[in-house]
Amino acid sequence: MINTKFRNTQLEYVANNIDIQESIPNNFSQDKISKSEFDNMLEEMPVSILSEYEKKLFFTIIEDKYITTKEAESLTYEQIKKIKDLILEKDKKGEYIEASFINASYKANALMFSAIVSDDDNFNKAFHNILKNLTKTKDILNFMILVAGVTDPATIVGFDEYLNTEYGFKQIRSDDLDSYLQESIDELKAKLNKSINESLKEYYKEALSYYIKLEEYYQIEKNRFKINGWQEDKILNYIDIR
């Protein structure tokens, strides 16, 4: 069943919150994307298939060529994955589409980066959910550095050539992310116990707290599965399906 109330509330929220925290800078160009330009972007770009609702929602967000923190926070992880495809993308001829030169706040770029931080959707969603709950720019920056080693998510989000290249960002890739996370936690615990430098201890403590939370969130996402298109907990563990 489609949650119409949520959809209408989401559209209203986006429309009414463009001038609050980390909204459009005063010196930012107010040139807007026309509806015809937006439609052309959807036709020309290799963007994920959008529902009619998502087309309306995304146009509301990017019409002013700037994605605010509040706008990005209002989107689900699945919507973040799709709207990312509208940023600095090329048409079928390999040329950048002018209307896709869209800027965003630091946190909005970080949230879009969450869709490509690894090659595992469950890990990415866990990363996204932690990031979404961080409110201070300092904490967001620290999380990005400590977990992904990234300070400038906008470049990676906007330019494909910076992803998985020698001088760019290499996605977190592992056939066994459980082991990757546990080994990272064990390594940080060992370094924390051995360190005698108070500044390093604080660094290790903060990094450790993020990895413990990431592992917890990852397990939550991994233990979900789809029933009729909806994400549900492993309910079949508790019911008789004979």
Q: Which residue has the higher pLDDT, 105 or 47?
A: 105
Pair (147, 77) in one structural domain = no
Encoding tokens for residue 224?
């979900």
The model's pLDDT over 41-80, given as tens digits with 9 standing for 90+, comes to 888 765 667 888 999 999 999 999 999 999 999 999 999 9
Measure the CA–CA gap between 184 and 207, rounded to whole angstroms: 10
Encoding tokens for residue 183?
């080994």
Q: What is residue 207's predicted lDDT score, i.e. its pLDDT?
A: 94
Last residue of a domain, one of 69, 104, 139: 104
Pair (124, 93) in one structural domain = no
Encoding tokens for residue 172?
């977190």
Last residue of a domain, one of 80, 104, 128: 104
Pair (149, 240) in one structural domain = yes
Q: What is the DSSP letter of 47?
A: P
Say if residues 232 and 224 touch (Cβ distance below 8 Å): yes
Domain for residue 15, yes or no?
yes
Boundaries of domain holding 166: 119-242
Last residue of a domain, one of 58, 76, 104: 104
| Model confidence pTM above 0.85 | no
Pair (77, 168) in one structural domain = no
The model's pLDDT over 177-216, given as tens digits with 9 standing for 90+, comes to 999 999 999 999 999 999 999 999 999 999 999 999 999 9
Domain for residue 111, yes or no?
no
* Total of domains in the chain: 2
Question: Long-range contacts made by residues 154-162, C-beta under 8 angstroms, separation at least 24?
Answer: 154/103, 154/104, 154/106, 154/109, 156/113, 156/116, 157/84, 157/87, 157/88, 157/109, 157/112, 157/113, 157/116, 158/87, 158/88, 159/88
Measure the CA–CA gap between 114 and 239, rounded to whole angstroms: 34
Q: What is residue 48's predicted lDDT score, i.e. its pLDDT?
A: 64
Say if residues 86 and 34 touch (Cβ distance below 8 Å): no
Pair (135, 26) in one structural domain = no
